[in-house]
Amino acid sequence: MKYCIVFCIASVLFCALNSKAQVKKERIACIGNSITFGARLTHPETASYPAVLGSLLTEKGYHHYEIKNFGIGGATVLRFGTPNLWRILDSLKNFPPDIAVIEAGTNETVGAPRLNWEHISEFEKDYSDYIAAIRNINPDCRIIICSPLDMVLETKDLTQARKDDLLGRRPRIWELRERIKKIAATENVFFLDLTKPFKGKPELMTTMDGVHPNQDGYHYMATLVFDYMRKKKIISGGILH
């Protein structure tokens, strides 16, 4: 009888451990431009927002998620742009996301000689087509589209030429914020505002830059994404507070 009880307990423990080991990890694809990649950081592999987001998920008990960074420097969601986010679709087929976080818009504001802004009339269609392409990979993918970070003209040590450039492009950031918000409503995806949270926060931006966050800024961005995913119940599990 004693051996039978011990065997039963061992069997239950084995099944519980085996069941836990077989829990499928959900894939989170962070798609975007150099801000997603982690530009201006010494170690983007650990300090970019996707890397910090992964750490936050683990710290808060969300263990069944796997994150991959699909950031490309200079990329647009515009098909016209060079480079653009369309080139990573084949890679996404090898990492079919359950959750996709798309951060785009900063490079769309660039005019001559790249001429991205001159093709901005194509933005909504290209973005909607891109969402459709992700859904073609995984029809159940939860998609978050983010407005671009604000350009902070108060950032320390900006040259006058840099200020002039950002001064011309910054209104386009806010226009794209509204356009992306409308795309989210039309396509029935989640919208995360990253423009307002970075407004007037030079302490979060890389000096002499004004576009890319510093290490604190990337951490803040990761926190915004994490809090949004938890609030909207896009992620599940975690430690209850």
- Taking the alpha carbons at both ends of the chain, their separation in whole angstroms is 43
Mean pLDDT of 144-168: 97
> What pTM was estimated for this model as a whole?
0.90
Instruction: Give residue 20's pLDDT.
Output: 45
What ranges do the domains of the chain cover? 26-151+170-202+214-231
CATH architecture of the domain covering 26-151+170-202+214-231:
3-Layer(aba) Sandwich (3.40)
Burial class (CB in 10 A: 0-12, 13-18, 19+), 128: middle
Mean pLDDT across 152-177: 97
The confidence score (pLDDT) of residue 185 equals 98
Q: Is the pLDDT of residue 7 over 50?
A: no
What are the structure tokens assigned to 83, written together?
């480079």
CB neighbour list of residue 129: distance below 8 Å, 6 or more residues apart: 79
> For 210-214, what is the mean pLDDT?
98
Locate tokens 């084995």: which residue?
14
213: how many CB neighbours lie within 10 A of its CB?
A: 26
Mean pLDDT on 78-89: 98
Is the pLDDT score of 53 beyond 90? yes
What is the spatial distance between Cα 93 and Cα 80, in angstroms, rounded to a whole number?
22
| Pairwise CA distance, residues 61 & 38, whole Å | 24
